[in-house]
C-alpha cells in the first residue's frame, strides 16, 4: 500500500492534531510541525496503531531557516508531498484596536500569515516537480467578515491568508497544484483560552469540533486531481 504524504503545521493541538490523526488512519504518512515537540509527540501517541505514520518535527514556521529545515527533512524521509495543511494559528488576549500592542500585532501576522506563506513557498518547488499537490489553509469566518471578537490583527491576517490561497490557485494551477481556504466558525480548540473571556464548557460543546474541520481537509485533498474546492465555509448548526 502506497502512503501519500501530508505536512501539517500546528499539529500539536486543535485542528492540526485532529487532521493528523484522521489522515494517518486514511493512508497518509503525516509530518506534524509545531513549536512544542512534546505536543507533537502526544499527537503521535494518540494514534491507536501504526505510530510511525506520524512524524513530529519541532519548527517555528515564522522562521525561514526552520521552515527550510522542515522541507529538507520531509524530502529526505519521503521524497514527496501530496498535501500541505497550514493549520498553525494564534491570537492574543488584548486584541482590540485600542489595546493591541505592535509586538502582538506582528506575532499574530507572523504565525497566521507569514508562516503559511513560507511553508507554501518552500514546498511549492517539490509540488511543481511532481506536477501535483494540494495546499489547504485553515482560515476563519473572520477572514470573510470582520468581527470585534476576533480582533483587528487576527482579521487582517485571515483576510490576507484568503488572498494568499487565491494567489496560489492563480499562479500554480498550470503546474497541477491546487489550494483551498477553509473558513470555520468558532471551533472548540485551545485558542479559545486566549480570549479575554473564554467560553464556557456549554458554549464549547455547541461549537464546531476539530474533527469536523479535519473532515473538510480530507475532502479538499482527496478530490480527483482535476477538481478543486477553492473555498469552504463551515459553521455549527
Active-site residue, selected from the candidate residues 73, 105, 132, 154: 154
HEC letters along the chain: CCCEEEEEECCCCHHHHHHHHHHHCCCEEEEEEECCHHHHHHHHHHCCCCHHHEEEEECCCCCHHHHHHHHHHHHHHCCCCCEEEECCCCCCCCCCCCCCCHHHHHHHHHHHHHHHHHHHHHHHHHHHHHCCEEEEEECCHHHCCCCCCCCHHHHHHHHHHHHHHHHHHHHHHHHCEEEEEEEECCECCHHHHHCCCCCCHHHHHHCECHHHHHHHHHHHHHCCCCCCCCEEEECCC
* 132 is an active site residue: no
The residues annotated as belonging to the active site are 154
Amino acid at each position: 500500500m502506497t502512503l501519500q504524504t501530508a505536512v501539517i503545521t500546528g499539529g500539536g493541538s486543535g485542528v492540526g492534531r485532529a487532521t493528523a490523526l484522521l489522515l494517518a488512519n486514511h493512508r497518509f504518512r503525516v509530518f506534524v510541525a509545531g513549536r512544542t515537540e512534546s505536543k507533537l509527540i502526544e499527537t503521535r501517541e494518540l494514534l491507536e496503531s501504526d505510530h510511525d505514520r506520524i512524524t513530529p518535527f519541532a519548527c517555528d514556521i515564522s522562521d525561514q531557516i526552520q521552515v527550510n529545515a522542515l522541507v529538507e527533512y520531509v524530502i529526505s524521509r519521503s521524497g514527496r508531498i501530496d498535501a500541505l495543511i497550514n493549520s498553525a494559528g494564534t491570537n492574543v488576549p488584548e486584541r482590540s484596536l485600542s489595546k493591541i500592542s505592535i509586538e502582538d500585532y506582528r506575532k499574530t501576522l507572523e504565525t497566521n500569515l507569514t508562516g503559511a506563506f513560507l511553508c507554501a513557498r518552500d514546498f511549492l518547488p517539490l509540488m511543481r516537480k511532481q506536477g501535483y499537490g494540494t495546499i489547504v489553509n485553515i482560515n476563519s469566518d473572520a477572514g470573510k467578515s470582520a468581527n470585534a471578537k476576533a480582533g483587528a490583527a487576527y482579521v487582517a491576517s485571515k483576510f490576507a491568508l484568503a488572498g494568499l490561497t487565491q494567489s496560489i490557485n492563480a499562479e500554480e494551477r498550470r503546474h497541477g497544484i491546487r489550494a483551498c481556504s477553509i473558513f470555520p466558525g468558532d471551533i472548540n480548540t485551545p485558542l479559545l483560552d486566549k480570549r479575554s473571556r473564554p467560553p464556557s464548557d456549554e458554549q464549547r460543546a455547541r461549537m464546531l469540533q476539530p474533527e469536523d474541520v479535519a473532515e473538510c481537509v480530507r475532502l479538499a485533498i482527496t478530490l480527483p486531481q482535476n477538481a478543486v474546492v477553492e473555498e469552504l465555509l463551515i459553521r455549527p448548526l
